[in-house]
Amino acid sequence: MRVKVSRKAHFNAAHRLYNSEWSFEKNEDVFGLCNNPNFHGHNYELIVSVTGNIDPKTGYVIDMKVLKDLIKSEVENAFDHKNLNIEVPEFKKLNPTAENIAVVIWNKLRPHIAEVNDLEIVLYETPRNFVTFSG
């Protein structure tokens, strides 16, 4: 029997959406206000879900304390109160869109989750805009 368990977290971060190969005008056309050269910020809401079989000895799919600590060490410590474009190595050459942030988070967490379990990332950039990535 497979069960999905989830943990919510949040972080605040600034970013700028732009493509360095394009002119300022093309970046403005594509990214609008998100292309602000002085950056802008979001209060990101994150839901990390692990799906797997319940361990008959513990009753857990994954120990929630382990998941909490993993999110803290791999995501919150790396992203919270940071300028993603400048301070987070993964975004030095990768546009920090919500889609790319979700994939980066998945890649940071996946090595720490048992291979038999599925991992899903849901990232809310605003209360109405969110992305989901499952690998």
How does the average pLDDT of the chain come out, rounded? 97
- Catalytic: 99? no
Is 40 among the residues known to form the active site? Answer: no
Are the CB atoms for 94 and 107 separated by under 8 Å? no
Over residues 62-74, the pLDDT tens digits come to 999 999 999 999 9
Which residue of the set 42, 81, 90, 99 is catalytic? 81
What average pLDDT does range 32-40 have in this prediction? 94
pLDDT over 90 at 19, yes or no: yes
Helix, coil or strand: residue 20: coil
Determine whether 91 is exposed, middle or buried from the number of CB atoms within 10 Å of its CB (0-12, 13-18, 19+): buried
pTM above 0.85, yes or no: yes
Would you say 36 and 24 are in contact if contact means Cβ atoms under 8 Å apart?
Answer: no
